[in-house]
């Protein structure tokens, strides 16, 4: 929410987010130069994040709960490019839907664009390496992207408004309020993203092989399991 | 709602003012709001920008009010939490619910008023930008600021796909509802996953078609859009500078003001 986060916190979050965005822009440039046909894919992923995260529910903490949709783009393109997508989406939300704001952009980019996708990406990587069922991994990664986003938001709010309870007390208060709406939402989001992933595997698996996410044999196995 | 916002941005009384100037005015007002230690300057920003949006830009008051109610409801709830969480100063009101003593102190009340003022100032500045400046002009500004071409192209494509997404989603959703796709929670999750998956793939395919169409028209990684942004006019520049200077002065003068 514009104007909600006081100085110096909004400046600090800008500074923290900046290096991730620079790395993301760099990767984006390279990806678009070498594989130009991924540009529409990136745009679709971005628009997907926008539409999902626009479905917001009010929460009492000055921020609000919504599905983030960032898990999918982190799995597909890696966390730094997901951060750039998150940045673009958050600017649009601020301008067109009055979600978030320009001064709070740094904090929002960090929680929704960097921390959430990074968690999703790590879980997806660990899961595929450990050989866990692909859909279960996607479910966990997408749900984690959502939960981590809100844990980080609670940290940000508690740092800015410690009140009389101090940082830890305020963090518990904010996190508890978020948890009511966020835990069920994260589970639903995980299920939805896993379903989306299933549709991609069954209908258009060449996207996944092109991005080096799954080998053709892995997709063959998944399709056989589904059939 | 998105379309109407964009409609106003494309068709308002301040359309011919330089977008750079409008953007600068909005951003400076946001910065002033968020860094003002007292509620006077942000409230002044909210009032003056509202007048500008309603009278100079000619945005209908009903539409503007409806826009403002979205952030207002969120702001109201969060400020309530801050009001009870923050202490300091004398106790103003004390409500004792069983097991949950709630007190409002002067410190909490002052912080709540300040936050409310900052949010209204910031939101009015944000709406000023989004109601008077179309997205296409923001893109050409971004290009002139030297942001990477890939980033700007991606922003434009995302902007385009948001509208493709919304219209496709509406269509699929309506047909799912007609087939009782949202009868129970289980069904709803299944249907929503199906909707999201189908949406993702359909938009993806339309994106591929767009790339082919653009390649056929010699697309080389850069949209060659015409840059037709109006230049900065001297009187407008002076007016904005005076306005911002006055606000800064007021913010400095009223730094110590508190209500409680």
Give the pLDDT confidence score for residue B8 in this predicted structure.
80
Picking from A25, A37, A96, the nearest residue to B211 by CB comes out as: A37
- A9-226 maps to CATH 3.20.20.140: no
Is B54 part of any domain? yes
**Residues B147 and B129 grouped into a single domain:** no
B232-252 tens-digit pLDDT: 788 888 888 888 888 888 878
Q: Which residue of A has its CA nearest to B168?
A: A51
From the CA of B161, how many Å to the nearest CA of chain A? 6
Reported as a pLDDT band with limits 50, 70 and 90, residue B223 is low
Residues in chain B within 8 Å Cβ distance of A98: 67, 70-71, 123, 126-127
- H-run or E-run covering B93: strand B91-97
Residues B43-55 have a mean pLDDT of: 89
Q: Which residue has the higher pLDDT, B75 or B65?
A: B65
**Residues B52 and B176 grouped into a single domain:** no
Give the pLDDT confidence score for residue B36 in this predicted structure.
82
**Sequence-ordered list of residues with C-beta below 8 angstroms from that of B120, at least 6 positions apart, any chain:** A3, B42, B43, B46
Residue A211 has phi, psi (to 5 degrees) of -90, 10
Q: Which residue has the higher pLDDT, B51 or B196?
A: B51
Number of Cβ pairs < 8 A linking chain A and chain B: 220
Residue-number span of the structural domain to which B17 is assigned: 2-133+231-253
Average pLDDT over chain B, rounded to an integer: 80
A99-128 tens-digit pLDDT: 677 888 888 888 888 888 899 899 988 988
Picking from A40, A195, A198, the nearest residue to B210 by CB comes out as: A40
**Residues B235 and B113 grouped into a single domain:** yes
Q: Which residue has the higher pLDDT, A202 or A84?
A: A84
Give the pLDDT confidence score for residue A227 in this predicted structure.
56
Q: State the number of CA atoms in the 13 A half-sphere of A184 facing the CB.
A: 6
pLDDT of A59 above 50: no
From the CA of A214, how many Å to the nearest CA of chain B? 18
Percent of chain B's residues with pLDDT above 70: 87
Reported as a pLDDT band with limits 50, 70 and 90, residue A55 is low
Instruction: Please give the biggest Cα pair distance in chain A.
Output: 58
Q: Which residue has the higher pLDDT, A226 or A168?
A: A168
**Residues B145 and B129 grouped into a single domain:** no
Q: Which residue has the higher pLDDT, A5 or B24?
A: B24
Verify cis geometry, omega within 30 degrees of 0, for the bond prior to A11.
no
d(CA B30, CA B118): 8
**Sequence-ordered list of residues with C-beta below 8 angstroms from that of B196, at least 6 positions apart, any chain:** A48, A52, A192, A193, A195, A196
CA A112, A70, B154, B67 torsion: positive or negative? Answer: negative
What secondary structure does DSSP assign to A97-109, as a single string?
I--S-STTHHHHI
A178-198 tens-digit pLDDT: 777 778 778 878 888 888 888
Give the pLDDT confidence score for residue A218 in this predicted structure.
72
d(CA B153, CA B143): 10
**Residues B39 and B9 grouped into a single domain:** yes
Between the alpha carbon of residue A183 and those of residues A67, A136, A147, B54, the distances in Å are 11, 17, 7, 42
Instruction: Give me the residues paired with residue B102 across strands.
Output: B95
Q: Which residue has the higher pLDDT, B25 or A220?
A: B25
Closest CA to A143 of A70, A205, A216: A70
Residues in chain A within 8 Å Cβ distance of B109: none
A32, A24 Cβ separation under 8 angstroms = no
Give the pLDDT confidence score for residue A98 in this predicted structure.
66
**Residues B119 and B19 grouped into a single domain:** yes
Give the pLDDT confidence score for residue A62 in this predicted structure.
43
Q: Contact B194/A198, CB-based, under 8 Å?
A: no
**Sequence-ordered list of residues with C-beta below 8 angstroms from that of A21, at least 6 positions apart, any chain:** A83, A84, A87, A109
**Residues B115 and B243 grouped into a single domain:** yes
**Residues B17 and B106 grouped into a single domain:** yes
**Domain segments of chain A: what residues?**
9-226
Among A18-32, A44-58, B169-183, name the one with the lowest average pLDDT.
A44-58
d(CA A104, CA A107): 6
Give the pLDDT confidence score for residue A56 in this predicted structure.
53
pLDDT of A145 above 70: yes
B135-167 tens-digit pLDDT: 888 888 888 887 888 888 888 888 888 887 878
Closest CA to B165 of A199, A56, A43: A43
Residues B5-21 have a mean pLDDT of: 80
Is B249 part of any domain? yes
**Residues B78 and B152 grouped into a single domain:** no
From the CA of A217, how many Å to the nearest CA of chain B? 22
**Residues B21 and B148 grouped into a single domain:** no
Is B221 part of any domain? no
Give the pLDDT confidence score for residue B1 in this predicted structure.
45
What is the tally of structural domains in chain B? 2
Q: Tell whether pTM > 0.90.
A: no
Give the pLDDT confidence score for residue A226 in this predicted structure.
61
B80-128 tens-digit pLDDT: 777 776 766 667 777 666 655 667 777 778 888 888 888 888 888 888 8
pLDDT of B229 above 80: no
Is B259 part of any domain? no
Residues A159-187 have a mean pLDDT of: 77
Is B258 part of any domain? no
**Residues B149 and B36 grouped into a single domain:** no
Average pLDDT over chain A, rounded to an integer: 79
């Amino acid at each position: 929410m514009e104007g909600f986060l006081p100085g110096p916190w909004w400046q600090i979050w800008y500074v923290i987010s900046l290096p991730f965005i620079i790395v993301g822009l760099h990767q984006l440039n390279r990806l678009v130069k070498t594989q130009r046909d991924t540009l529409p894919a990136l745009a679709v992923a971005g628009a997907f994040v926008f539409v999902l995260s626009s479905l917001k529910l009010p929460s009492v903490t000055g921020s609000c709960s919504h599905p983030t949709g960032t898990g999918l783009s982190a799995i597909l393109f890696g966390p730094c490019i997901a951060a750039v997508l998150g940045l673009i989406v958050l600017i649009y939300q601020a301008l067109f839907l009055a979600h978030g704001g320009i001064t709070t952009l740094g904090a929002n980019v960090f929680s929704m664009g960097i921390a959430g996708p990074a968690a999703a990406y790590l879980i997806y990587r660990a899961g595929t390496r450990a050989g866990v069922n692909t859909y279960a991994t996607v479910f966990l990664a997408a749900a984690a992207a959502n939960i981590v986003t809100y844990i980080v938001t609670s940290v940000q709010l508690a740092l800015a408004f410690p009140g009389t309870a101090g940082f830890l007390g305020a963090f518990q208060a904010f996190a508890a309020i978020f948890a009511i709406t966020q835990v069920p939402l994260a589970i639903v989001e995980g299920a939805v993203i896993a379903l989306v992933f299933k549709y991609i595997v069954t209908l258009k698996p060449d996207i996944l092989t092109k991005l080096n996410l799954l080998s053709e044999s892995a997709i063959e196995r998944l399709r056989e399991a589904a059939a | 709602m998105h379309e109407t916002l964009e409609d106003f941005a494309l068709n308002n009384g301040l359309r011919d003012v330089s977008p750079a100037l409008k953007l600068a005015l909005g951003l400076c007002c946001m910065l002033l709001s968020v860094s003002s230690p007292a509620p006077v300057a942000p409230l002044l920003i909210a009032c003056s920008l509202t007048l500008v949006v309603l009278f100079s830009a000619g945005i209908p008051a009903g539409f503007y009010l409806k826009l403002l109610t979205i952030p207002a409801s969120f702001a109201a709830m969060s400020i309530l939490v801050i009001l009870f969480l923050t202490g300091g100063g004398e106790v103003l009101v004390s409500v004792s619910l069983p097991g949950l003593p709630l007190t409002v102190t002067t410190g909490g009340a002052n912080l709540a008023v300040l936050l409310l003022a900052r949010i209204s100032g910031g939101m009015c500045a944000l709406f000023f930008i989004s109601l008077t400046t179309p997205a296409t002009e923001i893109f050409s500004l971004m290009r002139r600021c030297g942001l990477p071409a890939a980033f700007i192209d991606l922003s434009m494509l995302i902007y385009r796909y948001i509208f493709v997404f919304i219209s496709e989603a509406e269509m699929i959703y309506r047909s799912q509802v007609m087939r009782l796709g949202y009868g129970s929670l289980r069904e709803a999750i299944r249907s929503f996953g199906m909707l999201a998956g189908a949406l993702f793939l359909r938009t993806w395919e339309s994106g591929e078609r767009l790339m082919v169409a653009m390649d056929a028209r010699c697309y080389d990684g850069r949209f060659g859009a015409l840059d037709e942004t109006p230049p900065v006019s001297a009187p407008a520049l002076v007016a904005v500078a005076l306005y911002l200077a006055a606000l800064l002065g007021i913010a400095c003068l009223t730094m110590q003001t508190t209500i409680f």
